[in-house]
Amino acid sequence: MNTMTLLSACSKGGIATVVKINATGALKQRLISFGLMKGTEITMLECGLTKSTYEIKIGNVNIALRREEAELIEVSNVR
């Protein structure tokens, strides 16, 4: 089943595939420069205690996202 969810809803250790990035402008370009684009597989490494920050892994790169940024990324195939 390919249900879509937001990256911010993923659990620590979860692996998902990016379906859509709902960001625009400089933020979208920054995410793409980190390798975050449609079809990319990502791993949720850490969620801050208040879920205000997220650390994800894309290939060999780890990046930190704010909750507002994570809520702009739709993912599927969460496992």
In order of their start, the domains of the chain are 5-76 (2.30.30.90)
pLDDT above 70 for 11: yes
d(CA 29, CA 47): 23
C-alpha span between 24 and 9 (Å, rounded): 21
Please report the sign of the dihedral spanned by the C-alpha atoms of residue 17, residue 36, residue 68, residue 73.
Answer: negative
Residues 56-73 have pLDDT tens digits of 999 999 999 999 999 999
More confident residue, 78 or 65: 65
48-71 as b/e: b if 16+ CB within 10 A: eeeeeebebebeeeebebebebbe
pLDDT tens, position by position, 34-59: 999 999 999 999 987 777 899 999 99
